[in-house]
Amino acid sequence: MPSISHIIYIPAILLVGFAFGFRIGARAVRAELERREQERRR
């Protein structure tokens, strides 16, 4: 049986991972949209 620290620690680490992944992914999408906009203007 996992201890109470595991019940708190594992979901907390997953949430941190999702938050970082979301920020990095959103930045990549914004950069790609900006790149496409630059190409469209040419």
User: How many domains does the chain fold into?
Assistant: 1
How much is the average pLDDT of 12-35? Answer: 97
Each residue's pLDDT tens digit, 1-13: 788 888 999 999 9
Query: Percentage of the chain surpassing pLDDT 70?
Result: 100
From the list 10, 29, 30, 7, the residue with the least C-alpha distance to 18 is 10
Domain that holds residue 4: 1-42
